[in-house]
Amino acid sequence: MELQKIYELYTKHPVITTDSRNCPKDSIFFALKGEKFNGNKFASETIQKGCAFAFVDEKEYANEENIFLVEDTLKTLQDLARLHRQTLNTPIIAITGTNGKTTTKELTASVLKKKYKLLYTQGNLNNHIGVPLTILQLKKEHSLAIIEMGANHPGEIRTLANIACPNYGVITNIGKAHIEGFGSLDGVIHTKCELYDYLNISGGKAFVNQSNEILQKEADKRKLSVIKYANENSPQIVSCEPFLTLSYHDKIIETQLIGRYNLENILAAIKIGEYFEVGENEIIEALKEYCPNNNRSQFKKTQRNELIIDAYNANPTSMKASLENFLLINNGQKSVILGDMKELGHESKEEHQKIADLLSKSDLENIILVGPCFEQTVCPAAKKFTSTESLKNHLTENPISSQLILIKGSNSMKLVECIELL
C-alpha cells in the first residue's frame, strides 16, 4: 500500500498501537518485530480486539481484509510519522544529551504549557519506535512539540532527526555513556551532534550551553544559528540544601529538584521559555511547580530516612555529579547506595574505581555498592553486594535509620526496589 493511502487511513483512525495487548477501538496496529517477539503473529487477534486495521511485513499474516502487507512495518511507521509531521508543520524542539535530557524536557514542557498547547514525549519514548509514536499524536491544535531523542549507537540521532524534522534543538551535555555502543567519547560527541548536523542542513536553530566547551565548539564548527544560554547573566544558585534554589531577575525560584547539576537543565528551560515569549512570572511559576516523580533527582521522606532517588540511569558523568553534590549537602548523617553503571565496555573497571576512590575520601556513614562491577573495586569502607536482591535481604535484617540516603545506579540494577526497606 502506498504511503499516502496509509496516511488517509490514519487521518480517519488516528490512534496507533504497536502492542497487541492494547487495542483501542478503531485504532491501527503496526506489527513490529524484535529479538524475542514477532508482532505479525498477533495481527488477526488485534482486529478481533477492536483495531480497525493492521499492518504486517510477513505475507502469511496478511490473511484478512483489514490486514495489509508492507515491506517493513517499522520503516512504514517512521515514514508515516514523518509525513504527518510535514503535513501539520508544527514547530518541533528536539532534546538529546548524555544526561539531563528527560529532566530538561519535563522542565521545558512545564514552562511552555503556560502559554502553548503542547505535545511532548511521555515517559521514555525517545527511540526509533517512541519518537514516531509521539509524532503521530500531533494534532492541529498543538502549537509546539518537544521530542526527546535517545541514542546508544552512531547514526541513531540522525535517524530520529530525519523522522521528527525539528526546527530547534538542544544537546544538554556530552559525557561517557553507552561506550559499548559508541566505542569512545568521540563516538558519543559525533552521535549527539548529529542533531546539530540536521539543524545546520535544514536551517534550524540550536539552543547552546555557553559554559560547555564541547558543545560551543561543535556549534561554531558548523556555523549554526544559535541561541545561547548559561552565561554570567543567567540565574545563579542561591542554595542547594537539598533543593535547588535560584535567583532569577532579582526573584527567588525555589525548585523541587535535588542537585546543582540540574542548574543547566533549568537554564535551558528558562531560555527556551524566554525565546518563545513565555512571561517571567509564568516561567518562575512553572519551575516552582515541577516535581519529579520518575526516579530522577527525586526527594522522598520515609518513616525512617530521607531519600534522594536518582536511580533511573547512571554513567560516570552523572554518577560523579550526583555524588559530589550529595557530599556538599550539610547533613550530619549521610549514606549512599550506588549500583553498577552499565554499557561502559572497556572503560568500566576504570570508571567504577574512580567513583570508589571518591567515596574513599568521604566521611559517609554507610557506603553500599551493588553489582559485579562495583564488587571488583577497591573501597575498604564499602559494604558490597552482588545484586539488589542480596542488598534487600541485608536491609531487612540490618535496617538503616535517621539518614539522608543517595540512591543512584543504572535502571537495570533495580535499586528502586530497596526504597520500601528504607
pLDDT tens over the chain, length 422 residues: 899 999 999 999 999 999 999 999 999 999 999 888 999 999 999 999 999 999 999 999 999 999 999 999 999 999 999 999 999 999 999 999 988 899 999 999 999 999 999 999 998 899 999 999 999 999 999 999 999 999 888 899 999 999 999 999 999 988 766 566 666 788 888 899 999 999 999 999 999 999 999 999 999 999 999 999 988 888 889 988 788 999 998 899 999 998 888 999 999 999 999 999 999 999 999 999 999 877 777 889 999 999 999 887 788 988 998 899 898 888 778 999 999 998 888 889 999 999 999 999 998 989 999 999 999 999 999 999 999 999 999 999 999 999 999 999 988 899 999 999 99
Rounded-to-integer distance, Cα 188 and Cα 211, Å:
19
Asked if residue 388 is part of any domain, the answer here is yes
The values of phi and psi at residue 334, to 5°, are -130, 140
Question: Domain containing 380 — which CATH number?
Answer: 3.90.190.20
Q: Assess contact for 303 and 312: CB atoms under 8 A.
A: no
Q: Last residue of a domain, which of 259, 289, 319?
A: 289
Q: Last residue of a domain, which of 70, 105, 128?
A: 70
The values of phi and psi at residue 336, to 5°, are -130, 145
Rounded-to-integer distance, Cα 157 and Cα 80, Å:
18
Same structural domain, 40 and 149: no
Same structural domain, 305 and 283: no
Rounded-to-integer distance, Cα 295 and Cα 287, Å:
18
Asked if residue 260 is part of any domain, the answer here is yes
Contacts with 11 (C-beta within 8 Å, 6 or more apart), sequence order: none
Same structural domain, 413 and 383: yes
Strand pairing report for 306-310 and 298-301: antiparallel
Q: Assess contact for 53 and 76: CB atoms under 8 A.
A: no
Q: Which structural domain range is residue 131 located in?
A: 90-289
Asked if residue 164 is part of any domain, the answer here is yes
Vertex 359 angle, CA 354 and 361, to 5°: 100
Rounded-to-integer distance, Cα 335 and Cα 326, Å:
9
Question: Domain containing 24 — which CATH number?
Answer: 3.40.1390.10
Confidence at residue 177, expressed as pLDDT on a 0 to 100 scale: 62
CB-based burial of residue 260 (10 Å sphere; 0-12 exposed, 13-18 middle, 19+ buried)? middle
Give Cα 178 to chain centroid, integer Å: 14
Helix intervals (H) in 50-166: 73-88, 101-112, 130-135, 156-164
Same structural domain, 219 and 126: yes
Asked if residue 82 is part of any domain, the answer here is no
- What the block records as the C-alpha cell of 186 is 568521540
Rounded-to-integer distance, Cα 223 and Cα 200, Å:
8
3-class DSSP string for 195-238: HHHHHHHHCCEEEEECCCHHHHHHHHHCCCEEEEECCCCCCEEE
Same structural domain, 161 and 276: yes
How many domains, in total, are found in the chain?
3
Following DSSP, what letter does each residue of 336-387 receive, concatenated?
Answer: EEEEPPPS-GGGHHHHHHHHHHHHHTS--SEEEEESHHHHTS--TTEEEESS
- What the block records as the C-alpha cell of 255 is 525548585
Same structural domain, 318 and 250: no
Strand pairing report for 243-248 and 251-258: antiparallel
Specify the pTM. 0.87
- What the block records as the C-alpha cell of 81 is 510519522
